[in-house]
Structure 1
Amino acid sequence: MKTTIKISLFAASLLLTACKAPMATVVQDQVKNNLPAGYTQNQEKPADSTQNSGLVPWKEFFNEPHLSSLIETALKNNQELMITLQQIEIAKSDVLYKSGRLKPAVTAGIGAGLDKAGRYTSESAGDATTEIKPGKEMPDPLGDFSAGFSADWEADIWHKLRTEKQSAVAHYLATVEGKNFVLSSLISEIAENYYDLLALDNQLDVIRQYIQLQQKAVEMSKIQKQAAAATELAVKKFQAELAGCKATEYTLLQEITEKENTLNALLGRYPQPIERDKASFLSIVPKTVYTGIPSQLLANRPDIKQAELELQSAKLDVEAARKAFYPSVDISATLGLNAFNPTYLTRIPESLAYSIAGDLAGPLINKTAIQAEFKAADARQIQALYEYDKSILNGYLEVSNLMSKIHNADGYYQLKSEESKELDESIGIAEQLFRNSRADYLEVLTNQRDALEARMELIEAKVQQLNTVVAIYKSLGGGWK
């Protein structure tokens, strides 16, 4: 039986070295502390914090049946979301690993060996004269058989391991917020692509209506030519306009196919038709958006929360790196049975063997590696602070810009609606004048082109209206709850 306890003779020097450990750079959240009370400079008082569209669940915000069905499918099948979920599992495993380091590592095992020393060595000479029983020498070669337990443990006297675990927990929570951000982005991306697809469907319908209109114009110009009321030039111009409209039709068909495939990719499936209701597109009324107050972004937006948790994790990493300068206490122990013959293992307490050892050790000379790690951790902490500040600033600016865009997009749509209505009415007037030879073909073509352009721009204005609402819903942190 043997018991050993080892304590470093350099304890005083190590403790003195630990006192000289560098201090972390002090960082402050400047942007967070200076966050304005409202989203506009002329806002005298904060908005009502009880009304915030970012708090509305996506099923209530996007209540159109076809769109809701698409989102439900994406939440089950989207590959990017599945990848993010695995990142969470990786971070969770890291937390378990750091937790395990706080506890002793206990192992169990059995061993067998054979040792044969040279006959004319001090070891062999000593064994040869040793008797285990009267008249019986030590066996040669000498066996070594053992069975037992061993334990190793780093005593976390400076809370270095606990700090590393806390950092891992903060990083795990950050990955959860990262998943929430992917969720919010995915939902808004599906909604935007869905509205884009409806807009393309309506533009295709408009082009086909104008193709029919141009076909009638060609026939009318031919009749006018036969009656000597128009020339061959008018016929050619109308035919050219008809060919241009048909070319645009093919372009829109290709864009529709690509947009459908984009949506199918987000849904994690191979190309197939996207169910939708295009008839009511222009009559869709955009949701009324309430922004709440800017400070709610800190709790609502997953990307800001993720950046905050990563900053917290980085600060803890700096603290853990600083504690690497301190001496560590390692304790090891073994308990088991040991004998040169396996039949003697059962002879207790003669075959009982155990040991316990403690080491106090720390860096004394050439601390370049841990100094470099500390500086890197300190730099990552400052980097994380800037990322956090940037996410807050970008979030505030996004909401502020989009609120202004909603107001301007509404006004733009109203005026485009009036323009389109007036130009649609002017087409019939121009055609009537052309039939009565009171207007030439150029006036008819000009009116038709203007009306077509205005109608296409009206559809674009509507999709801009809807997508702006989707964008601000995401900017307010909506979609992941």
Structure 2
Amino acid sequence: MKQHKKINPWIHLAVLVFLTSCKVHQDALKTDISIPQKFEAEAPLLAIDSVKKITETPEKWQTFFKDPILVQLIDSALVNNLDMQIAFQKVQQARAGVQYTKGIRLPDLGVNLGAGVRRFGDYTIDGVGNYDTKFSTNLNNKQQLPNPIPDFYVGVYSTWEIDIWGKLKAKKKAAFSRFLAEEQGRNLVITNLISEIAIHYYNLMLLDRKRAIIAENILLQENALQVVGFQRDIGKSNQLAIELISAQVLAAKTLLMEVDQEIIEEENTLNFLLGRYPQPVFRSEFNVMPELTKNELPGIPSDLLGNRPDILTAAYRLKAQNADVKAAKAAFYPNLTLNANLGYQAFRAAFLFESPASIAYNVVGGLVTPLLNRRALKADLMASKASQQEAYLNYEKTILQAFTEVYQLVKLDNNFESRSVVKNEQVALLKQSVETSRTLFSSGRAGYLEIITSQENYLRSQIELLEIYRLKNQNNVHLYKALGGGWK
């Protein structure tokens, strides 16, 4: 009969472990995405990886905003704003996760102090055996067992999971990436806060200017009312002209009260962002020249998007999910754990620290791997892969949204520049028309309707010009934020 050689059972176990573990290999998703090199309709593609260092960075906010009062307000908000404080606490929570995983690959070491007592029954194996030791000639008096038996132990213990497959390293990397993501989330709060403060501050300046314009127009309308009243007295005008111009004055005064209410609302919003209760907000007077912000738009490279906190946050979250997938895959592999104890142990306290007689130690190593019913591991891996894919799509979506945002803001800036030039010409002409209508009315060559129309058009054009200035400055702030500025 043919004889078969016996195969070592350890070889069977090793093969089984290998077959159950080798199916889970998968490369991590990359974080680089190709985008146009310039913010133009047709431009060559450029690979952006926001987790790499970007050489070009936007200007610091301390020099981007030219108003010294605004700079002081931003400094105050960065300290007192409640959203900033909440974001800081989130960073601290993520830092705790990093601290937890900092020594995850190193052995645990602790101290063990123990004391106890145990009595064996007279009709048990241990009880009979311990009683027989009293008559043994191999034991001295110190080694005689009392009944009940005390047990004293003082020593150290250590537990170490050896990271063969990189599971613990992946968990450590995931925790660190989440910490970096939270830090960038805090930077996103900073840049949003700075932009909101700047926008509301500029709105207040423009509202002050708007109020001054309305007040000036009210004086012009009241002067026109006096002229029409004089013309009525000499029979060259009528009561209808007086009533229409008086109604125009009242409408302007109502508009003035609306502006006062808007100023109160803007101040309250700004005070809330500053982390303080409602109070007057000191501000500079509005001046068209020079501009309130500093933007250099020509030739903006698209890799500046790598400075955006939202893109950095999405990138680090993707890296964290990549690490989670690696850890989930490594869970299918065997775990190698070492446990050790070293100390003094005795059944009498007086003999506890006798060395080397009372020294006790043990070392145990274990290799554990899942073979059957691995549903939990498979579900965890499936969920990790889905989260990884979600993080990648969110990262790609964030980059696409950022590029589109900057592209639109650049185009809007050019549009506002052209509109402001045209509107300034219109305001200058309508201002002259107010003087012309009065002169013609005084000489009887124009009616009161021309005065009313010219004054209404002049006031409306001035307010429209202010709105263009507001939108232009707001666009500059948004563009600065969209390029990753405001948090450095």
TM-score (norm 1): 0.89
Range that drifts further, 179-188 or 220-229? 220-229
1:142 equivalent in structure 2: 149
2:40 equivalent in structure 1: 40
Matched, 1:447 2:450: no
2:3 equivalent in structure 1: none
Matched, 1:228 2:235: yes
Matched, 1:373 2:380: yes
Letter of the aligned partner of 1:448 in structure 2?
Q
1:42 shift after superposition = 5.4
Compared CA separation, residues 207 and 293, structure 1 to 2 (3 A): closer
Compared CA separation, residues 45 and 138, structure 1 to 2 (3 A): closer
1:213 equivalent in structure 2: 220
User: Aligned partners of 2:56 and 2:241: how far apart in 1?
Assistant: 55
Among residues 76, 96, 101, which one is paired with 1:98 in the alignment? 101
Among residues 261, 264, 277, which one is paired with 1:270 in the alignment? 277
Matched, 1:202 2:205: no
Compared CA separation, residues 154 and 406, structure 1 to 2 (3 A): same
**Is the contact between residue 37 and residue 303 of structure 2 (CA under 8 Å) also seen in structure 1?**
no
Among residues 70, 74, 78, which one is paired with 2:77 in the alignment? 74
1:29 shift after superposition = 5.9
**Is the contact between residue 36 and residue 43 of structure 2 (CA under 8 Å) also seen in structure 1?**
no
User: Aligned partners of 1:276 and 1:258: how far apart in 2?
Assistant: 15
Letter of the aligned partner of 2:20 in structure 1?
T
**Is the contact between residue 31 and residue 315 of structure 2 (CA under 8 Å) also seen in structure 1?**
no
Among residues 151, 160, 164, which one is paired with 2:167 in the alignment? 160
1:186 shift after superposition = 2.2
Range that drifts further, 128-137 or 182-191? 128-137
**Is the contact between residue 282 and residue 459 of structure 1 (CA under 8 Å) also seen in structure 2?**
no
1:176 equivalent in structure 2: 183
**Is the contact between residue 36 and residue 294 of structure 1 (CA under 8 Å) also seen in structure 2?**
no
2:123 equivalent in structure 1: 120
Q: Secondary structure at the match of 1:347?
A: coil
1:390 shift after superposition = 1.5
Compared CA separation, residues 67 and 357, structure 1 to 2 (3 A): same
**Is the contact between residue 298 and residue 305 of structure 1 (CA under 8 Å) also seen in structure 2?**
no
1:211 shift after superposition = 2.0
Matched, 1:88 2:88: no
Letter of the aligned partner of 1:126 in structure 2?
G
Range that drifts further, 350-359 or 133-142? 133-142
* Structure 2 unmatched runs, 5+: 1-9, 47-54
**Is the contact between residue 29 and residue 322 of structure 2 (CA under 8 Å) also seen in structure 1?**
no
Q: Secondary structure at the match of 1:400?
A: helix
Q: Which has the higher contact order (CA 8 A, sep 6+)?
A: 1
Q: Secondary structure at the match of 2:103?
A: helix
Letter of the aligned partner of 2:369 in structure 1?
G
**Is the contact between residue 106 and residue 160 of structure 2 (CA under 8 Å) also seen in structure 1?**
yes
Could you report, residue by residue, the CA deviation over 1:128-164 in whole angstroms, capped at 9, with x for unpaired residues? 3332656996322221111111111101111111121
2:321 equivalent in structure 1: 314
1:250 equivalent in structure 2: 257
TM-score (norm 2): 0.88
1:3 equivalent in structure 2: none
User: Aligned partners of 1:136 and 1:326: how far apart in 2?
Assistant: 47
User: Aligned partners of 2:209 and 2:110: how far apart in 1?
Assistant: 71
Compared CA separation, residues 62 and 53, structure 1 to 2 (3 A): farther
Could you report, residue by residue, the CA deviation over 1:274-320 in whole angstroms, capped at 9, with x for unpaired residues? 22221424653763423545442343222222222221221111111
Range that drifts further, 101-110 or 220-229? 220-229
2:333 equivalent in structure 1: 326
Letter of the aligned partner of 2:111 in structure 1?
A
Range that drifts further, 10-19 or 260-269? 10-19
Could you report, residue by residue, the CA deviation over 1:38-89 in whole angstroms, capped at 9, with x for unpaired residues? 211256999xxxxx99532222221221222222222232222232233222
Q: Secondary structure at the match of 1:55?
A: coil
Compared CA separation, residues 314 and 269, structure 1 to 2 (3 A): same
Q: Quick one: percent identity of the two aligned structures?
A: 36
Letter of the aligned partner of 1:124 in structure 2?
G
1:415 equivalent in structure 2: 422
Range that drifts further, 90-99 or 53-62? 53-62
Range that drifts further, 182-191 or 315-324? 182-191
User: Aligned partners of 1:459 and 1:416: how far apart in 2?
Assistant: 10
User: Aligned partners of 2:292 and 2:117: how far apart in 1?
Assistant: 87
2:51 equivalent in structure 1: none
**Is the contact between residue 314 and residue 381 of structure 1 (CA under 8 Å) also seen in structure 2?**
yes
Q: Secondary structure at the match of 2:188?
A: helix
Compared CA separation, residues 139 and 240, structure 1 to 2 (3 A): same
Letter of the aligned partner of 1:341 in structure 2?
R
Matched, 1:359 2:349: no
Compared CA separation, residues 285 and 336, structure 1 to 2 (3 A): closer
User: Aligned partners of 1:340 and 1:109: how far apart in 2?
Assistant: 16
1:27 shift after superposition = 4.2
1:474 shift after superposition = 1.4
1:424 equivalent in structure 2: 431
User: Aligned partners of 1:159 and 1:25: how far apart in 2?
Assistant: 14
Matched, 1:110 2:74: no
**Is the contact between residue 117 and residue 141 of structure 1 (CA under 8 Å) also seen in structure 2?**
yes
1:373 shift after superposition = 1.2
What value does the CA root-mean-square deviation take over the aligned residues?
Answer: 2.7
Matched, 1:61 2:64: yes
User: Aligned partners of 1:44 and 1:12: how far apart in 2?
Assistant: 51
1:264 shift after superposition = 1.9
Range that drifts further, 214-223 or 57-66? 214-223
1:92 shift after superposition = 2.4
**Is the contact between residue 154 and residue 331 of structure 1 (CA under 8 Å) also seen in structure 2?**
yes
2:409 equivalent in structure 1: 402
